[in-house]
Amino acid sequence: MTKVDKSGVPAGLWSRCEGCGHMLYEKEVADAHFVCPECDHHRRLDARARVRQLADPDSFEEFATDLTPTDPLHFKDRITYKDRLKREQSRTGEVEAVIVGRAFIRGRAVILGVMNPSFIMASMGAVVGEKITRSIERAIEENLPLVLVTASGGARMQEGMISLMQMAKTSAALARLDDSGGLYIVVATDPTTAGVAASFASLGDVIIAEPHAMIGFAGPRVIANTINAELPDEFQTAEFMLEHGFVDRIVHRSDLRREVARIIDYCGK
């Protein structure tokens, strides 16, 4: 793992691309939205960096900032869940694995939610489910398009069934958004998997994915064990999902703002 600081920028002036191994000048990569100029590898982004790229400058007004995770199960594996949370919070400077707010994208008002893969792999517990649900409800109330940038390892084991129920909660809220005629755009980024892939990340009116993002339900190792064979090339990538009809467009990170704005305009809001 590359050491990542608060802003999502790996320490040091130079780094090696995780895609092609090429040595990259960090400043250059940052200017290119953290996409490798050699191989187009889209590096994972933390939520704040994503908001800076996607939303108009200083337009993001975050809400539901006070929600903090608890430890309803008193979960303890090798370390306690409480300690794990504290560690992640101090490491990332974030309270939880998603931020939601009102924003503008190329002048269009939206409700924007962004998951943070650097916080316990953006797994979904009660707070993530609640914040996503509140963003959906805000989109209904304010009659605004909803844009969710997904990235998640799935449900958060340390919250047990409470986390599984967030799948039902977010999906039920999306039924209400759908009933109200609201637009919902998913931007699926690396990795969008398991419980999140089997709930709100799959329910967009339009689903955009970043190139090569891993998108899938079951873990690839579990599948390989089950079928006792090698997995096909590009299995569970954005390209695979596009080929099989579960993603609408694959969009390069530098084109995301334009593409999201274009879809919003077509959907008339």
Partner 1 sequence: MNSKPNIAASTSMGVGGLLEFEKPLARIQNDIDEMQREQGETDRDVATDVRQQKTRYKATLKRLYASLTPWETVLVARHPKRPLSTDYLRMIFRDFAELHGDRLFGDDPAMITGFARLRGHKVMFIGHNKGKDVKERIKCNFGCAHPEGYRKALQKMKLAEKYGVPVVCLIDTQGAYPGVGAEERGIGYAIATNLMEMSRLRTPVVCVVIGEGGSGGALGIAVGDRVAMFQNSFYSVISPEGCAAILWKSAEQRKHAAEALRLTASDLLKFNIISEIVPEPLGGAHRDPEAAAANLEKFLNTSLNSLKRMTLTNLIRRRQEKIRHFGNFFDDPASVKQPAKATARAASRASRLGRTLTRTRTRNVTA
Given the rule CB under 8 A, which residues bind partner 1?
A: 66-70, 72-73, 75-78, 126-127, 129-130, 133-134, 137, 140-141, 154-155, 157, 159-169, 171-180, 194-195, 197-203, 216-219, 222-223, 225-227, 231-232, 235-236, 240, 244-246
Residue 122, Ramachandran bin (φ over 0: left; ψ between -120 and 50: alpha; else beta): left
Residue in 15, 21, 59, 6 with CA at minimum distance from that of residue 34: 15
Residue in 208, 252, 186, 255 with CA at minimum distance from that of residue 41: 252
Nearest distance from residue 122's CB to partner 1, in Å?
Answer: 15
Nearest distance from residue 10's CB to partner 1, in Å?
Answer: 26
Between 10 and 216, whose beta carbon lies closer to partner 1?
Answer: 216
Between 103 and 120, whose beta carbon lies closer to partner 1?
Answer: 120
DSSP-derived pairing of the beta strands 206-209 and 215-216: unpaired
Residue in 264, 254, 149, 163 with CA at minimum distance from that of residue 209: 149
Between 58 and 179, whose beta carbon lies closer to partner 1?
Answer: 179
Contact 16, 23 (CB under 8 A): yes
Between 32 and 203, whose beta carbon lies closer to partner 1?
Answer: 203
Integer Cα distance of 217 and 183 in angstroms? 24
Nearest distance from residue 176's CB to partner 1, in Å?
Answer: 4
Nearest distance from residue 32's CB to partner 1, in Å?
Answer: 30
